[in-house]
Structure 1
């Protein structure tokens, strides 16, 4: 059964007010002329004023970008974004410019590592700009965060922003055997970059047994931190695929036996301590069931949640999370978005 999704009624916007006028005008033109949104709806979706939308549309018509077709790479990406948004009922999908990573052979570990690194950096930069705009608008945000390299890239690319009233809280246990991009490191990076407060669960990501997990979850410091997580205004999560090259295996957070059991149960994706099958359903009845120290998925889904998705090897995992009802918006690299759109949706790009 899919999750309910956010119940707060808050619509997430792309916050693109800092985008160059040329690219922003192309997005405005596509949404207005092709997507058939009103100027007010375009302004709301992109996070800019209606006056600016009106000016950009006039400029796009006067300089010839809008005629029978809209000629700009950003407009073509807008078609992919809108198709994904509509298909999965998101508040928005924001893509980075594609750079041809879809030509790489993802069965080759070296090529997979290269495309993953580039895709994560691109999404991290875009997510940082989105997040900076959110914090400037609401400096006292409480933000729930998961672990992962893409979330770390977002934290690393925050710049020139002070938000001492902001709170950053991990949605899951903060420690693994080998560190890596743990929830602790993500929270620490965000709080250090902004001067905000950091709250993390000072316990392992995976408990040894379900009974150990219950003991850890009952600790007062864990309950206090989970209480902060339940007060989040927005969650930012990433997605993990499930194979031997996945970070969760590379850092030995789960064993090969655990991985095979998850795959045997139909799991294709993980996020914030939860596993999902290809239809977006939570997967139970596996050796890790009851051992993940994390905020329950249903509680994560009550808060507007942005998915950071990077890398073509994660197509199946991304689709699963989009079907789960857990995600309200997505920031994704352009190459992966193009493949996701082509493999999942009708062709919306030939406008």
Structure 2
């Protein structure tokens, strides 16, 4: 099998198994006949390319991965194949679900390798739908000596992407231990934050977080459709004042400007999470799902805290087009 044939087979597998496209749409995206796609998918299963997950390493290094890797001085960059959402005219929710799942699979593969190669290991986690998908896609690994720790306080809503639920799910799937910060995501006041972070249980959890071997975070855009707004964690007035302060995105509830600097804002003073200076001491892997996250992702990559990037192909192309 030639290199080009193998790459086509991998792309077909991504579109069909991860993206959820049927064989007809997969064939259309690749410019192939449905019969050939059917044969490729069967061969992908027979050769072991498709098992529990898709082996991204068989794709080879994509040009956009090299571009982003070099531009932002990363240790590594993994991009899934682009799905071409604009050409597909996919509805917004379908597009997001495909992107979340694709990045989740790639991130789970990376985490699985880390767990298999490092014993013991402490893994820090953020929150959000991309992080949630990473936990859902992680399977087939036992790591009883692994520790998972949330890098931020928890939300009030009991969602699967809540930091507490993320840590609990990872510990359950691997047989490891889970730790979380037993405090709210954002304190009511600066004084309340000081009291909360001085509690012995919180001090211990923060110490574990600062000792993490690696941590996975995501970037959030600051719009009315962002998860923070949809969950009611910030108000419309908060959003407006954050924009006025120069904020373009957040990670773990820490709001930053276009150059990746924490902005001067009351919310940053009340958020309970590891700050940028602390994250700079760790190996941080940024997960990005969705082209709408490109501006926030570029800013966070400029901050100097990110060492690795896992991103969906469409977002990678958008990010690359933004320039340095």
Quote the offset at 1:287 in angstroms.
3.0
Residue deviations 1:269-292 (CA, integer Å, cap 9, x gap): 1002311111111111x2313110
The CA RMSD measured in Å over matched residues stands at 2.1
When residues 206 and 325 of structure 1 are mapped into structure 2, their CA distance, relative to the original with a 3 A threshold, is: same
Query: Could you say which residue in structure 2 is the equivalent of 1:326?
Result: 305
Structure 1 length-normalised TM: 0.74
Structure 2 residue corresponding to 1:335, chosen from 288, 307, 314 = 314
Quote the offset at 1:177 in angstroms.
4.3
Structure 2 length-normalised TM: 0.80
Distance in structure 1 (CA, Å) of the matches to 2:238 and 2:160 = 19
Distance in structure 2 (CA, Å) of the matches to 1:142 and 1:90 = 21
Query: Could you say which residue in structure 1 is the equivalent of 2:77?
Result: 93
> Does residue 79 of the first structure (1) align with residue 63 of the second (2)?
yes
> Does residue 134 of the first structure (1) align with residue 101 of the second (2)?
no
Write the mapping of 1:164-175 to structure 2, written as runs, cut at 5 A. 164-175=144-155
When residues 288 and 156 of structure 1 are mapped into structure 2, their CA distance, relative to the original with a 3 A threshold, is: same
> Does residue 197 of the first structure (1) align with residue 181 of the second (2)?
no
Distance in structure 2 (CA, Å) of the matches to 1:320 and 1:114 = 26
Distance in structure 2 (CA, Å) of the matches to 1:103 and 1:228 = 46
Kept after mapping to 2: 8 A contact 1:243/1:249: yes
Distance in structure 2 (CA, Å) of the matches to 1:208 and 1:104 = 45
Structure 2 residue corresponding to 1:294, chosen from 273, 276, 299 = 273
Query: Could you say which residue in structure 1 is the equivalent of 2:35?
Result: none
Unaligned runs of 5+ in 1: 1-20, 27-72, 346-351
> Does residue 149 of the first structure (1) align with residue 129 of the second (2)?
yes
Query: Could you say which residue in structure 2 is the equivalent of 1:264?
Result: 244
Quote the offset at 1:100 in angstroms.
1.0
Distance in structure 2 (CA, Å) of the matches to 1:139 and 1:152 = 23
Query: Could you say which residue in structure 2 is the equivalent of 1:116?
Result: 96
* Equivalenced residues, count: 272
Distance in structure 1 (CA, Å) of the matches to 2:88 and 2:243 = 25
Kept after mapping to 1: 8 A contact 2:148/2:179: yes
Kept after mapping to 1: 8 A contact 2:153/2:183: yes
When residues 339 and 102 of structure 1 are mapped into structure 2, their CA distance, relative to the original with a 3 A threshold, is: farther
Moved more, 255-264 or 172-181: 172-181
Kept after mapping to 2: 8 A contact 1:177/1:253: no
Query: Could you say which residue in structure 2 is the equivalent of 1:217?
Result: 197
Structure 2 residue corresponding to 1:310, chosen from 273, 289, 304 = 289
Quote the offset at 1:102 in angstroms.
4.1
The structure showing larger relative contact order (alpha-carbon pairs under 8 Å, at least 6 residues apart) is 1
